[in-house]
Amino acid sequence: MAIQIVVPDLGESVLEATIARWLKNAGDAVAVGEPLVVLETDKVDLEVGAERAGVLTAIAAPAGSDVKIGDVLGSIDDSGSPAAAKPAPAPAQAAAASVSTTASSAAASSASASSTSPADATPVARRMAQDQQVDLGKVEASGTGGRITKNDVQRYVESAVAPTAIASPASVPPSPSAATAPAATMPAASAASSNGRREERIKMSRRRRTIAQRLVEAQHTAAMLTTFNEIDMTAVQALREKHKERFKTDLGVGLGLSSFFVKAAIGALKFQPRLNAEIQNDDIVMKHYFDIGMAIGAPEGLVVPVLRDADKMSFADIEKAIKKLASQATENTLALDDLRGGTFTITNGGVFGSLMSTPIINPPQVGILGLHKIQPRPVALDGQVVIRPMMYVALSYDHRIVDGREAVQFLVRVKELIEDPDRLLIEG
């Protein structure tokens, strides 16, 4: 009996997805629960598994297709056999196989190993393994819960020594018709222009398209302004230096800057609550809880996982949660629940060396705090010029409900709390 594979419920506010790649080919045998296809949404990548054991008889939507909830992706025959369902090779493939049986067999063996990769590998790792013809069974895992990550595959590729080249689909000579076709009709991602300069065309991922759309929408719909201040980081650096060893020994995590700024932001949000609100039609919805989004630059695009009820979390809780979320973002294993909601966002361009920037609001939020690089600078203190570790901070806000006075006072409160971190125990 044929069982349809359909796009499942993708989570709150997620209606569409793009097929990142199929993990199985038509004709392959599949087991119950085995991942079949990776769907790329604007938030996370999701694997769709087989509901029945059988044979994947058809793929209705190829990689790169945009699909909606309920669309048919393919079908499984739970009574068929792999041999009966396996499609015949295309003429070009048959010709290539006759040219070099040994090479094509090696490539098929390697591709098969990649397509039947272990379930404990991230979608990005599987994709890279398939592209690089890597057997995931030989890759050492370093991800959370023993998952193979993109970095694990990259390390394996860099360390591997290949004395002989293995034929791959990219190395199979094109058919005569393809070789004589005009360059404009070729589906290649790159081509040489008339002046000999190389160009490359890469399709945007769904996440990148959504990021672009949301950032443009934020600028079109919000009356967005940015205000700046600078913070002397001397006190926080001294506090971290004093307690970092005991903090890590006793609590099992390093004491970073993130927890200080999360606590300082919460203290400032309590002081200026409209920055923790949102606009719904003609209403201002005041949020009396603090779900702080932490912007993370993941390999597949920017994500903003959320610290729920961050005001109730200790410094150690915050550091552990951020470390876990950052690892999951790198491995592309964040769940939709990790990304939902959020009342205010913090982004840290300083980790990439940014000295100053104007962050863009993450709708429907009305404020975002931007952190930057700590740099020693001369400052005037008690009539003397001294060198202090200084950081520029920026607050972008929606002027529709937040006035300039409130925005400036918010940043001043963040500055006061960071420069006198003892106050964080009370106000953060």
Is 152 a catalytic site residue?
Answer: no
Q: Give the whole-angstrom CA distance, residue 318 versus residue 315.
A: 5
Beta strands in 208-303 (DSSP E): 224-232, 277-280, 283-286, 292-294, 296-298, 301-303
At residue 194, the 3 state secondary structure works out as: coil
Say how far apart CA 257 and CA 369 lie, in whole Å: 14
Cβ–Cβ contacts within 10 Å for residue 164, how many?
Answer: 6
- CA 275 from centroid of its chain's CA atoms: 26
CB-count burial class (<10 Å; 0-12, 13-18, 19+) for 263: buried
Catalytic residue (choose from 9, 250, 399, 420): 399
Do residues 158 and 179 make contact, with C-beta atoms less than 8 angstroms apart? no
The CA-based dihedral angle spanning residues 214, 219, 224, 226, taken in that order and rounded to the nearest 10 degrees: 80
E-state strands within 148-294: 190-192, 198-200, 224-232, 277-280, 283-286, 292-294
Residue at token pair 């990439």: 352
Pick from 126, 96, 123: nearest CA to 113: 126
10: number of Cβ within 10 Å:
20
**Among candidate residues 199, 198, 186, 227, the one with its CA nearest the CA of residue 369:** 227
Hey, CA dihedral for 275, 276, 278, 284, is it positive or negative? negative
288 belongs to the catalytic site: no
Contact predicate 241/54, CB 8 Å:
no
Give the separation between CA 313 and CA 240, rounded to whole angstroms: 18
Question: What is d(CA 117, CA 149) in angstroms, rounded to the nearest whole number?
Answer: 12
Residue in 309, 337, 403, 420 annotated catalytic? 403
Report, as residue numbers or ranges, the catalytic residues: 399, 403
